[in-house]
Amino acid sequence: MTQATKRAMLAMLLLAALFLSACGSPAPAAPADPTSTPTLSEGPTAVPAALQSPATAPPAAAPADGPMIDTTRMSSTMAYAELYNILVNPAQYVGRGIRVEGRYYSAMTSDGAERVHMVLVYDSAACCELGVEFQLPQGMDYPQPGETVLVSGTFRTLIYNGNPFGYIEATASQVTATAPPPALVPIN
Amino acid sequence: MSMWQTLVHYLSFPFVQHALVVGVLVALSASLLGTVLVLRRLSHIGDGLSHVAFGAMAIATVMQLSGDMLLVLPLTMLFSILLLQGNRRARGDASLAMLSVSALAVGYILFNLFPPRGGNVSGDVCTTLFGSTAILTLSRQEVWLSIGLSAVVVGLFAVFYRHIFAFTFDADFCAASGFKLRLYNLALAVVTATVIVLAMNLVGSLLITALLVFPVVSAMRVYHSFRAVTLCAAVFSVTAALLGILLSILAGTPVGATIVAADMLGFILFCALGVLKERGTKA
């Protein structure tokens, strides 16, 4: 192989590396970052009302092929990664059964019209958290804030700003651990 | 369900398959690069550049760029070229230390002043610094990009192996023999930046040096020729990455830290093998 050929190959390989670096992945246009709790009235921004009303949800899709997604039988690393991928690509999981266990959290939307109910799932180091919205049938009571809850149901999507947004149409929720006591006791 | 059945079940998930493919390729690229960096006493440069990449990622987040690689990779390459090819002052270890901590501090301040959409600053910072689950949450484009860049790095080493050997051990001899030393330094800087940015997804910014150093130093405990050390380091790195990813998904531990722990245990094993080999030689 001549020097000129080697130089040409090196130049081509370096150009290929620089060219490939421009092929960045566009950020998903999902309404909420799946690695964080959703934006609620108690946080920086609120979840729009369109996300809260089941009436805005598209008709239920035919059940998707595939076994139930049971994150309670997975390690924390796998459960977090699986839920992350579900929330980033929700359309692929519509209609599938799902079970998630995590800490219950709720807040009002910014207009005060509705309350959003979430189950928070943490990764192994507990530094990243995912919020998965769930909706119980009418008449069922929601847990107390901070309680660990096991939610079972069907994964559905809402359309917001043209993007699918996932939530669990829950059929059951069960408290598996009560909320921890407050770290500081107020002095009276 | 037995551990084996659980593992087989986990391996059916596409994101686990992607993580294994990307993890193996990144570990392989890092071990090849690490051979050159360790032998040229540039082990610390990986740490410095990874902090620069963190700072660049913070800037990309603030600017809300659609793909942070558009800024992170070129900026890291720029500083890599400056550190490896700049004047004596730029190349000093004090300069590297100042650049490293400054980039880390500025990046963290930017994340706090301009939090990403959703507001999970601690999560984003933790994932970038320690790579807890980043390798398991890659998009399809990121997977292909990582495969492509890793293939380029491995291809460079395969094609230019003899030149890399000469350049690693005696750069002055290379210059005297007519090699374009500046070109090879430039290529090393570009490849270093590329591998650093790829490895951030696997082990995070703070643990990248482990991917560069442990495989080579472990191999040097047992083997003493450049070819043997390079091949052994490559096998070591790939094995540790595979074991680390599989253990972390089974045990629910952070992926990056588990891979580094596997590297550390492998190093201890190779130290023992080296001692046994020396005793066998003396006997």
**Least CB–CB distance from B249: residue in A14, A27, A77:** A77
Chain A residues lying within 8 Å of B13, measured CB to CB: 78, 82
Q: Which residue has the tokens 């239920």?
A: A60
pLDDT in tens, A41-62: 333 333 333 333 333 444 344 4
More confident residue, B24 or A186: B24
**Least CB–CB distance from A129: residue in B15, B16, B123:** B123
Largest CA distance in chain A: 86
Nearest-Cα distance to chain B for A135, in Å, is 21
Q: Which domain CATH number covers B126?
A: 1.10.3470.10
- Candidates A74, A75, A77: best to mutate against B (most CBs of B within 10 A) is A77
Evaluate whether residue B253 is within a structural domain.
Answer: yes
The packing angle between helices B3-11 and B14-39, to 10°, is 90
Evaluate whether residue B207 is within a structural domain.
Answer: yes
- pLDDT of B244 strictly over 90: yes
Write down the H helix ranges in B45-180: 45-62, 69-85, 88-91, 93-113, 121-130, 140-159, 161-169, 171-176
- pLDDT of A4 strictly over 70: no
Evaluate whether residue B137 is within a structural domain.
Answer: yes
Evaluate whether residue B281 is within a structural domain.
Answer: no
Evaluate whether residue B38 is within a structural domain.
Answer: yes
Number of domain units in chain B: 1
Evaluate whether residue B196 is within a structural domain.
Answer: yes
Percent residues over pLDDT 70 in chain B:
93
Query: Is this complex scored with an ipTM above 0.90?
Result: no
- Candidates B29, B120, B128: best to mutate against A (most CBs of A within 10 A) is B120
For residue A99, give the 3-state DSSP assignment: strand
Name every residue whose Cβ is closer than 8 Å to that of residue B85 and which is 6 or more positions away in sequence.
Answer: B182, B185, B186, B189
CB pair distance less than 8 Å for A77 and B253: yes
The overall average pLDDT reported for chain B is 86
CB pair distance less than 8 Å for A26 and B67: yes
Domains by residue range for chain A, with CATH: 65-179 (2.40.50.140)
- pLDDT of B90 strictly over 60: no
Q: Is B274 on the interface with A (CB under 8 A)?
A: no
Name every residue whose Cβ is closer than 8 Å to that of residue B99 and which is 6 or more positions away in sequence.
Answer: B48, B51, B52, B79, B83
Evaluate whether residue B282 is within a structural domain.
Answer: no
For residue A25, give the 3-state DSSP assignment: coil
CB pair distance less than 8 Å for A13 and B155: yes
pLDDT in tens, A122-150: 887 777 888 899 999 988 888 988 889 99
pLDDT in tens, A72-112: 999 999 999 999 999 888 888 999 999 999 999 998 877 77
Chain B residues lying within 8 Å of A13, measured CB to CB: 152, 155-156, 159
CB pair distance less than 8 Å for A35 and B252: no
Residues 184-243 of chain B whose Cβ lies under 8 A from any Cβ of chain A: 187, 190-191, 194
pLDDT in tens, B172-208: 777 777 777 788 888 888 899 999 988 887 888 888 9
Percent residues over pLDDT 90 in chain B:
39
Evaluate whether residue B233 is within a structural domain.
Answer: yes
Domain with B44, as residue range(s), is: 3-273
Q: Is B152 on the interface with A (CB under 8 A)?
A: yes
More confident residue, B221 or B124: B221
Chain A residues lying within 8 Å of B10, measured CB to CB: 74, 78
